[in-house]
Amino acid sequence: MDLVEYQGKQLFGRNDVPVPAPGAVCRTVEEVRAAAEELGPVTVVKAQVKTGGRGKAGGVKVATSVDEAVAHAQDIFGLDIKGHIVNVIYVEPASDIAEEYYLSIMHDRVNKGVLVIASREGGVDIEEVNRTRPDAVVKQVLLPSETTDGLPTDMARDIMTRANFPDDVLDQAADLLTHLFAAMRNEDATLLEINPLVKTGDGRVIALDSKVTLDDNAAFRHDNYEEWQVEGLDNDDPLEARAKEQGIQYVKLDGTVGVLGNGAGLVMATLDVVAQAGGKAANFLDIGGGASADVMAQSLSLVLSDPDVASVFVNVFGGITRGEDVANGILEACDRLGDFPQKLVVRLDGTNAEQGRAILTEAAHPSVIPAATMADAAEKAVELATA
Amino acid sequence: MSIFIDEQTRVVVQGIGSQGTFHARRNQDYGTKVVAGTHPRKGGTVWEELDRPVYATVAEAVEHEGANTSLVMVPAPFTKDAILEAHDAGISTIVAVTEGVPVLDMTDVYDTVVRRGGTRLIGPNCPGLISPGKSNVGIIPADIPSPGRVGLVSRSGTLTYQIMHELAQADIGISTCVGIGGDPVIGTQFLDVIQAFAADPDTDAIAFVGEIGGSEEQKAGEWIRDNIPDTPVVGYIAGYEAPAGKQMGHAGAIVKEGGPGGESAAEKKEILEGMGIAVAMNPSEAAQLMIARLG
C-alpha cells in the first residue's frame, strides 16, 4: 500500500526521522482557511495523492497569507493529477530551506537486499540526475547479514560522505539514515523516499516530503494497518475498490472483453490472446485455485457489472479441480446471476476437460458458449464484443 | 535422470492442516516418498491420512526418517521460520508453496538459506515441482505430464500446466517441471534451473514461462546464449497486455513505472530474441515452437 505525504511523515515521525512541525489534514476549503490561520503566516498547501509530479501539476503551492492559502485550496481541490483526483489537502507551516538533498531506501529485487540511494542534489528527478550525472548519485546495496542489528553508524556515515553531503550536516544526515533504515524494518516498508531532504536555515536536517510504500503481505503483524486506509486517498476504480473488499484479484483495463481465469499467469496469457485476436480485455481477474460456484458467481458478477464489458472470456485450466466441477460451477453461477445480456465464452482445458465441455454443451445454457482452445475462445469473445 | 527431485527424494511436510494433508496425500499417491509430517504440538502422533509419523521438529524427521526434502505448507506468517528450521535441520531441498510471505522475510531467508547456506529453496508462492514417473512435491496436478526429455521452468502455475498439457497432447514428455514462483524474492531463479537442466543428461530441450517484472529471464537468456547455444530453448512471457504500474495477481508481476526498463513482456521478448531464443506470443505458440524444434 502506498501512503500519501502526511501519512509518510507520521510514519517517519514515530520512527525518529525528523519532519517539519505537524500540519493539518483538510477536506474542505474552510478547513484549509482554519489551518492557514493557525499555522501561518507562511504555509504550504499540498495535494495528497498517491502519485509523483504533484508540484509540476500545480498541486503544491506556497501561501503567504490566509487568503492566498484559500485561493490555492480552491484550485487544488478536485485537481486531476495523473488520473488522481485531489480530495485531501495537507497544510503545513512553510520550512526555511537552505539546501536540498535526496535520500531513499527501497527493497532491491535484483540483489535481494536493500538499496540506499543518496545524493546531494535534491528536489529534482533523481532518475534524471542519475542519467546525466551518475557521479552525483550514490547507490549502496545492503544485505541482511550486514545489518542484523540495523544500519551501523559508520556505514551510514560512509554513504553520506560518498554522496558528498556537506560536513556540517553529515552527522545529522547519517543519524537520519540509520533511523530511516530502522523504519523500513519496523514498518515492513518496501520504499521510503525523501525528496527533498532539506537543511533548514537554522541548520536542521528534516524530511520535507515523503513517499512510502508498505508491504501488504506484512499487514498481519502491524496493528492498525487499516488506519492508513483513509477515505478519499485511493483513486481506485470503483470496480477495483469492490474487488479489493471481496478479496478478488482484479485490475480494470480499458477494453470490452471481460476476462476471468484461474492463475495469474494464465489470466495474463488470456489478455494476450484477446489482443492477438484483435480485441482488448476489459479487466484482469484471477479466480485462484479451484472454481467453486461461489467464487465463480462473485467474480462473474463483478465482471458483468462493468458497463464496458460486451462479452466475457472464461478461461479455466482444470488441474486438481476437474473439468466437470468447473463446468457445473459455471452453470450454477449463471443461474444464480439470473439474466444478463453478455455472452460467456467458456474455454475449459486440462483434467477431464472433455467431460466438462460435454456438460456445458448438454446444458445448452443460452448465455454460455463452449470453446475448445484459447485461440478459438478469444476469437469468439472478440467477435461478440465487436458485433 | 531429472533435476532436484527423483526416486531418492524423501519428503517431510511442514504444515499438516487440511491443505497440506490434501496435497501431501496426492504426492504420496503418485509414488513420492512422503516420510513424515511436522507439527510443534503433535510430535509422536500418527498422520492418519498418510499413515506416516508426525514429529515436533524437522530435525527429528531427518534423524528418524532420512528426510532430505521439505514441503512447506504453513501459513505466510510462519513461513520464514519454517524455511529456516528446515535449513537448520540439514534439509537439502526446500519447496515453499505458501503465498503472501512478506518480502523482508524473504530477503532474510534468501540471505541465510540460499546465499550463505547453499540450500536449494524453491518458491515461495509456487506450485512446487515434478519429475514425472519419479516424484511430485507440491501441488502440480500429476496426471498432466508423462516422463520425457523436455525441462520446463515457470513463474506461473496454471500456465505451466497449460503448456505441459499441450506438450503431452503432442506426446512430448517432461524430465522435470519446476514452478519457481511468482514473488519478487524467490529462492531458485530461472538461471539456476536452466543450468541444472543443461547439466542433466536426460534433458534435451528447455521451455520456460516468464512474466512481466524483474529481469531474471534476461539473465537466463544471456547464459543460454553463451553456454548452450545448440540446446532447443523456447519461451513465453505472459503479460504483453499488462499496463505499467499495475500488479497482475502475482506480487512479482508488475512493470515498475519509471523503473529501470526491460520489465515488460515485449521488452523481454525482444531482448531474448536478440540472444537467439525463440519467444512465443501465447502459451499454445510456445508449445508449437517446442514441437517444431523437436520434430
pLDDT at A200 over 80: yes
pLDDT value at residue B259: 67
Q: Do B154 and A113 touch (CB under 8 A)?
A: no
At the fourth CATH level, which superfamily is domain A238-386?
Answer: Succinyl-CoA synthetase domains (3.40.50.261)
Calpha distance B4→B157 (Å, rounded): 18
Of B26, B106, B182, the CB nearest to A264: B182
When divided into structural domains, chain B yields a total of 2
Output the pLDDT for position B61.
98
Q: Find, in chain A, the residue whose alpha carbon is nearest to that of B246.
A: A251
For residue B261, pLDDT over 80 is answered with no
Q: Which residues of A touch B282 (CB under 8 A)?
A: 269, 272-273, 276, 374-375
Q: A222 in helix, strand or coil? A: coil
Cα(A292)–Cα(A287) distance, integer angstroms: 9
pLDDT over 80 at A290, yes or no: no
Say yes or no for a CB contact (<8 Å) between A220 and B246. no
- Cα separation, B175 vs B4, in Å, equals 11
What would the mean pLDDT of B7-20 be, rounded to a whole number?
96
Average pLDDT over residues A365-376: 91
pLDDT mean over B7-24: 95
Closest alpha carbon to A76 in A54, A53, A50, A93? A54
The mean predicted confidence, pLDDT, of chain B is 94
Contact yes or no for B104 and A263 at CB 8 A: no
A292 confidence band (pLDDT: 50, 70, 90): confident
Residues A313 and A347: beta-carbon distance below 8 Å? yes
Under 8 Å between Cβ of A197 and A205: yes
Residues of chain B with Cβ-Cβ distance to A127 below 8 Å are 258
Most confident listed range (A282-291, B41-50, B155-164): B41-50
Q: Find the closest chain A residue to B211 by CA distance.
A: A265
Q: What pLDDT score was predicted for residue A158?
A: 97
**Statement to judge: residues B38 and B95 lie in one domain:** yes
Residue B253 included in any domain? yes
Contact B94, B88 (CB under 8 A): no
Residue A96, SS3? coil
Distance, in Å, from the CA atom of A226 to the CA atom of A247, rounded to the nearest integer, reads 15
- Between CA A282 and CA A286 the distance in angstroms is 13
Show which of residues 67-96 on chain A sit within 8 Å of chain B, judged by CB atoms.
none
Cell numbers linked to A100: 536540498
Range of the domain at B289: 144-294
Looking at the fold, whether B157 and B233 belong to one and the same domain comes out as yes
Work out the minimum CA distance from B218 to partner chain A, whole angstroms: 12
Distances (CA, A) of B68 to A111, A300, B71: 28, 44, 10
ipTM surpasses cut 0.90 = yes
> Grid coordinates in use for A29?
476549503
* CB neighbour list of residue A147: distance below 8 Å, 6 or more residues apart: A114, A155, A181
| Cβ <8 Å between B100 and A217 | yes
Nearest to A319 by CA among B273, B272, B240, B136: B136
Contact between chains at B158 and A265 (C-beta distance less than 8 A): yes
Cis previous bond, A93, omega within 30: no
The single residue listed with the C-alpha cell 547455444 is B229
The verdict on B155 and B106 lying in the same domain is no
Mean pLDDT of A36-45: 95
CATH code of the domain covering residue B270: 3.40.50.261
Q: What CATH number does the domain containing B69 carry?
A: 3.40.50.720
Share of chain A above pLDDT 70, in %: 99
- pLDDT (0 to 100) of residue A291: 65
CA within 13 Å, CB half, A214: 22
Contacts of A221 in chain B (CB under 8 A): 77, 102
Predicted local confidence at residue A214, as pLDDT: 96
186-245 of B, contacting A, C-beta below 8 A: 209, 211-212, 214-215, 236, 238-243
Write out chain B residues lying below 8 Å of A143, CB-based: 111, 115
**Which residues of A, range 309-328, sit inside 8 Å of B by Cβ?**
317, 319-320
Q: Is residue B139 part of a domain?
A: no
- Among chain B residues, the shortest Cα distance to A289 is held by B158
| Cβ-based burial of B147 (10 A; exposed 0-12, middle 13-18, buried ≥19) | middle
Q: How would DSSP label each residue in A313-371?
A: EEEEEESSS-HHHHHHHHHHHHHHH---SSEEEEEEEETTHHHHHHHHHHHT-TTEEEE
Question: To the nearest whole angstrom, how far is the Cα of A85 from the nearest Cα of chain B?
Answer: 18
pLDDT band at A353 (very low <50, low <70, confident <90, very high): confident
Query: How many Cα atoms are found within 13 Å in the side-chain-facing hemisphere of B241?
Result: 29
A positions 21-50 inside 8 Å of B (CB): none
Closest Cβ opposite residue A144 in set B111, B156, B159: B111
**Record: contact B144-A319, CB cut-off 8 A:** yes
**Percentage above 90 pLDDT, chain A:** 73
Quick check: B240 and A275 CB within 8 A? yes
A205-207/A189-200 β-pairing? antiparallel
Q: How many CB pairs under 8 A join A and B?
A: 165
CA count, 13 A, side-chain hemisphere, A94: 18
Cell of B9: 527424494
Q: CA-to-CA distance for B273 and A271, rounded, in angstroms?
A: 22
Measured between alpha carbons, how far is B141 from B158 in angstroms, rounded to an integer? 10
The region of weakest confidence among A49-53, A62-66, B98-102 is A49-53
pLDDT for residue A155 is more than 90: yes
Specify whether A193 is catalytic: yes
Among the partner residues A113, A188, A263, nearest to B158 by beta-carbon distance = A263
Q: Which of A321, A73, A368, A182 is nearest to B139 (CA)?
A: A321
Say yes or no for a CB contact (<8 Å) between B282 and A273: yes
pLDDT of A345: 96
Same domain, B158 and B285: yes
B72 is a domain residue? yes
pLDDT of residue A58: 94
Q: Are B190 and B241 in contact (CB under 8 A)?
A: no
CA-to-CA distance for B87 and B85, rounded, in angstroms?
5
Please list every residue in chain B whose beta carbon sits closer than 8 Å to the beta carbon of residue A114. 107
The pLDDT assigned to A323 comes to 84
Is B280 found in the same domain as B195? yes
Q: Please say if the pLDDT value at position A320 is more than 80.
A: no
Which pLDDT score, from 0 to 100, does residue B258 have? 65
- A25: helix, strand or coil: strand
Q: Is A221 on the interface with B (CB under 8 A)?
A: yes
Are A204 and A172 contacting, i.e. CB atoms less than 8 angstroms apart? yes
Catalytic entry in B23, B39, B87, B250:
B250
Residues 6+ apart with CB under 8 A from B22: none
Q: Is B172 found in the same domain as B263?
A: yes
Rounded distance between C-alpha atoms, residue A119 and residue A131, angstroms: 13
Which residue of chain B is at minimal alpha-carbon distance from A348? B162
| Predicted confidence (pLDDT) per residue in B185-226, tens digit | 999 999 999 999 999 999 999 999 999 998 899 999 999 999
Q: Which helix (H) or strand (E) holds B236?
A: strand B233-238
Please name which of A18, A312, A43, A46 lies closest in space to residue A175, comparing C-alpha atoms: A18
pLDDT at A161 over 80: yes
Kindly report whether the peptide bond that precedes residue B127 is cis, defined as omega within 30 degrees of 0. no
Query: Which pLDDT does position A209 carry in this prediction?
Result: 96
Q: Is B3 inside any structural domain? A: no
Which chain B residues are within 8 Å of A351, Cβ to Cβ?
A: 141, 143-144
Query: B93 and B192 share a domain?
Result: no
Distance CA B100, CA B64 (A): 32
Pairwise CA distance, residues B37 & B55, whole Å: 6
Q: Which amino acid is at B257?
A: E
Same fold, A23-93 and A97-228: no
What's the mean pLDDT in B110-114? Answer: 97
Q: Does A287 touch chain B (CB under 8 A)?
A: no
Shared domain for B158 and B284, answered yes or no, is: yes
- Residue B130 resides in a domain: no
Phi-psi region of B191 (alpha: psi -120 to 50; beta: other; left: phi over 0): alpha
Average pLDDT over residues B143-157: 94
Q: Can you give the residue ranges of every domain in chain A?
A: 23-93, 97-228, 238-386
> Which residue, A245, A323, A319, A242, is CA-closest to A283?
A242
What fold, for A97-228?
D-amino Acid Aminotransferase; Chain A, domain 1 (3.30.470)
pLDDT tens, A264-280? 999 999 999 999 999 99
The C-alpha atoms of residue B87 and residue B112 are separated, in whole angstroms, by 9
Residues B206 and B252 in one domain: yes
- Please give the average per-residue pLDDT across A297-307, as a whole number: 92
Residue B131 belongs to a domain: no
Asked if residue B284 and residue B171 are part of one domain, the reply reads yes
Could you give the CA distance from residue B233 to residue B198 in angstroms, rounded to a whole number?
11
Q: Are B38 and B16 in contact (CB under 8 A)?
A: yes
- Average pLDDT score over residue span A280-285: 96
Are B212 and B40 in contact by the 8 Å Cβ rule? The answer is no
Q: Which of A331-335, B16-20, B33-37 has the highest mean pLDDT?
A: B33-37
Do B43 and B159 fall within a single domain?
no
Do A268 and B161 count as a contact with CB atoms less than 8 A apart?
no
Domain final residue pick, B91, B122, B153: B122
Q: Please give the residue of chain A at the shortest CA–CA distance from B183.
A: A109
Q: Which of B87, B122, B157 is the last residue of a domain?
A: B122
CA distance A246 to A84: 23
Inside any domain, residue B269? yes
Determine contact, residues A45/A32, Cβ cutoff 8 Å. yes
> In chain A, where does DSSP find H-type helix?
5-14, 29-39, 66-76, 126-132, 153-162, 167-187, 238-246, 264-276, 293-304, 323-337, 353-363, 374-386
The domain covering A23-93 belongs, at the CATH homologous superfamily level, to: ATP-grasp fold, A domain (3.30.1490.20)
More confident residue, B35 or A230: B35
Residue in B243, B241, B269, B262 with CA at minimum distance from that of residue B254: B243
With CA atoms as reference, report the closest residue to B235 among B200, B194, B286.
B286
State whether residue A294 is helix, strand or coil. helix
pLDDT at residue number B286: 92
